[in-house]
Amino acid sequence: MHSNDLQEDDCFALRQASRHISKLYERHLSEVGITPTQFSILRTLGRCPNLTMAELAKAMVMDRTTLVRLLKPLLRRGLVATPPEGQSNRRLRVVLTRRGFAKLDEAAAHWATAQASFEHSFGQQQAAHLRNELFRMTSDLSER
């Protein structure tokens, strides 16, 4: 038995909420010329330097082909690099460049404004609870 009621469709609700929240972050981060996903990549590399492509893809919960497509503009702009030293064909490493760290610093204030806006409209405790549940869900899925 299936329901045609969108009010009971978890996937639809999550995607709709994701698009709604993404628009807020896109609006703020566009002022510094990056997308929310690019910001997340830069921040992940800033916190976990010298990740392999596979490790970064896993951290971002995306497949490698999607990650490669998202990294191309960051590579062209010199925000990330794949240094030749210590590279092998199977373990390509990605690092944040000096320019990437500067862009991350610049974008952080805009991200914080978007974050504060969301938490103000949704509620700070509700946002923290939602975030914890979503991270719990993705953590559970990665273990399956």
Report the half-sphere exposure of 95 (CA within 13 A, side-chain side): 11
Return the CATH number of the domain spanning residue range 6-142. 1.10.10.10
Across the chain, the runs of DSSP E, i.e. the strands, are 51-52, 80-81, 93-96
Per-residue pLDDT of the chain (144 residues; tens, 9 = 90+): 465 687 888 889 999 999 999 999 999 999 999 999 999 999 999 999 889 999 999 999 999 999 999 999 999 999 999 988 655 556 789 999 999 999 999 999 999 999 999 999 999 999 999 999 988 888 865 444
**In whole angstroms, how far apart are CA 8 and each of 5, 12, 34?**
6, 9, 34
Q: What pLDDT, on a 0 to 100 scale, did the predictor assign at position 144?
A: 43
Q: What pLDDT, on a 0 to 100 scale, did the predictor assign at position 84?
A: 81
Token pair listed for 43: 């921040």
Domain ranges of the chain: 6-142
